[in-house]
Amino acid sequence: MKSRIYLDHAAATPLSSVAWMAMEPVLLSNFGNPSSLHKEGVASANVLRSCHVSIAKCIGAHADEIVLMSGATDSINLAVIGSLKAGSMKGKHVITVATEHAAVLGAILVAGANVTIVPVDDRGHIDAESIVKAIRPDTVLISVMMANNEIGVVHDIHHIGKTIEAWRKKNGSVYPLFHSDASQAPNYLSIDVALLHVDLLTLSSPKVYGPKGTGALFIRRNAPWSSVFGGGKQEGGRRPGTENISGAVGFGSALTESVAMREKESARLLPLREKLMMGLLEIDGTQLNGDHIRRLPNNVNVSFKGIEGEELVIRLDAAGIAISTGSACKGGSEPSHVLAALGLSTDCINSSVRFTLGRSTTEEDIRRTILTVREIVLAARFG
């Protein structure tokens, strides 16, 4: 029997052995600065170039459209602030959605933009029309995540992107740009930047079984976007500073592996998710948060009447099962703005927890998790 069951893959995934094997020789040998002219530098620059190529290939982009970053937060900030800087003559209005990650909402705030936050319905959905209706003459950027990190709800980025593009064509404008935070998507959803009609897209390495501290921002060729950082010419001047070569190699190979595994792994996890969801919903006073169908195949977010989410997380941890109360980035006991956006009561929000399955998840894990949760919840109610 496993000593631990890990069901918090939306917060962090373990490092894949394929990624580690690709990284190890690079960590040991490619110490040269990729900007140096000598042999060691050129070797590192070549490794870096191949990372751009492999990451680009995974999302149907060109290698020069990939900017290596230190994570999704970093990438989102660069996307938002760089777009607003480029579009400063046009205005500083941004449209986003109530359930976006704190990185998007925070970046917009820090950039001092005027923001329209489009509400979601009680299942976490938005429609493209309500986004386009919010466009003003001074709108520079629209940012909509591909899949939600707390409730796993998937937005139709292809349709939203197409609708924005049609609006731009009709109005003869290059604005608003369209950014999507796809951090939670690559393991389960196909990403093709042309099909999605995005100008900017964020990827995160630690969500795809890659090393932490890396990620990437896709910036479409010719998109009106301006550099934000001062410094050297690395990443085409878009992200100056000496590159994290081993991290980029790990990210590139993890993302490639994740894309190759996507269909099989999604098909394997879906029945496990259903089993977990149904097993938990059989406990009286339990409700599912977020849409059931348009949802990542690894996400179950539920509220249990009569027990605080944090208490359940702590008790499950003591019983060998790792889950979370929602976004790991919230920290402390700040209530979830995502669940509030669905219209959940404070009690329901405080009693919510998130289970996110991954490559290590087995039927036996699900069986044990349901039994353990049932025991803890019933004991809390009647104990």
The answer to whether 348 is a known catalytic residue is no
Tell the smallest beta-carbon distance from residue 329 to ligand PLP (Å). 5
Interaction between residue 184 and ligand PLP (CB under 6 A): yes
Cα 236 to the center of its chain, rounded Å: 25
Do 99 and 294 touch, CB atoms closer than 8 A?
Answer: no
The residues pairing with 356 across neighbouring beta strands, listed in sequence order, are 8, 299
The span of 70-78, 82-90, 227-235, 249-257 binding ligand PLP (CB under 6 A) equals: 70-78
Interaction between residue 183 and ligand PLP (CB under 6 A): yes
Interaction between residue 142 and ligand PLP (CB under 6 A): no
Tell the smallest beta-carbon distance from residue 145 to ligand PLP (Å). 6
- Decide whether 11 or 307 has the Cβ nearer to ligand PLP: 11
Contact pick of 16, 73, 244, 325 for ligand PLP (by CB under 6 A): 73
Contact pick of 71, 87, 161, 186 for ligand PLP (by CB under 6 A): 71
x-or-dash pattern for ligand PLP, window 270-289, by CB under 6 A? --------------------
State the sign of the Cα–Cα–Cα–Cα dihedral 65, 127, 302, 349: positive
Interaction between residue 110 and ligand PLP (CB under 6 A): no
The span of 90-98, 162-170, 177-185, 275-283 binding ligand PLP (CB under 6 A) equals: 177-185
Tokens representing residue 340 in the block: 């509030």
Q: How many residues bind ligand PLP (CB under 6 A)?
A: 15
Using CB under 6 A, which residues numbered 201 to 230 contact ligand PLP? 204, 206, 215
Contact pick of 181, 243, 265, 365 for ligand PLP (by CB under 6 A): 181
Angle at 142 between CA 136 and CA 143, to 5 degrees: 155
Tell the smallest beta-carbon distance from residue 12 to ligand PLP (Å). 8
The span of 15-23, 33-41, 178-186, 237-245 binding ligand PLP (CB under 6 A) equals: 178-186
x-or-dash pattern for ligand PLP, window 2-21, by CB under 6 A? --------------------
- Decide whether 86 or 145 has the Cβ nearer to ligand PLP: 145
Interaction between residue 336 and ligand PLP (CB under 6 A): no
Please state the three-class secondary structure of the chain as a single string: CCCCEECECCCCCCCCHHHHHHHHHHHHHCCCCCCCCCHHHHHHHHHHHHHHHHHHHHHCCCHHHEEEECCHHHHHHHHHHHHHHHCCCCCCEEEEECCCCHHHHHHHHHCCCEEEEECCCCCCCCCHHHHHHCCCCCEEEEECCCECCCCCEECCHHHHHHHHHHHHHHHCCCCCEEEEECCCCCCCCCCCHHHHCCCEEEEEHHHCCCCCCCEEEEECCCCCCCCCCCCCCHHHHCCCCCCCHHHHHHHHHHHHHHHHHHHHHHHHHHHHHHHHHHHHHCCCCEEECCCCCCECCCEEEEEECCCCHHHHHHHHHHCCEECECCCCCCCCCCCCHHHHHCCCCHHHHHCEEEEECCCCCCHHHHHHHHHHHHHHHHHHHHC
Q: How far apart are CA 205 and CA 216, in angstroms?
A: 8
Contact pick of 93, 101, 197, 273 for ligand PLP (by CB under 6 A): 101
Angle at 294 between CA 147 and CA 278, to 5 degrees: 110
The span of 66-74, 262-270, 349-357, 359-367 binding ligand PLP (CB under 6 A) equals: 66-74
Interaction between residue 325 and ligand PLP (CB under 6 A): no
Contact pick of 21, 174, 329, 371 for ligand PLP (by CB under 6 A): 329
Tell the smallest beta-carbon distance from residue 85 to ligand PLP (Å). 21
- Decide whether 184 or 234 has the Cβ nearer to ligand PLP: 184
- Decide whether 95 or 307 has the Cβ nearer to ligand PLP: 95
Q: How far apart are CA 83 and CA 229, in angstroms?
A: 13
The span of 69-77, 159-167, 192-200, 238-246 binding ligand PLP (CB under 6 A) equals: 69-77
Q: Which residues are catalytic, by number?
A: 329
Residues that bind ligand PLP (CB under 6 A): 71-73, 101, 103, 145, 149, 181, 183-184, 204, 206, 215, 328-329
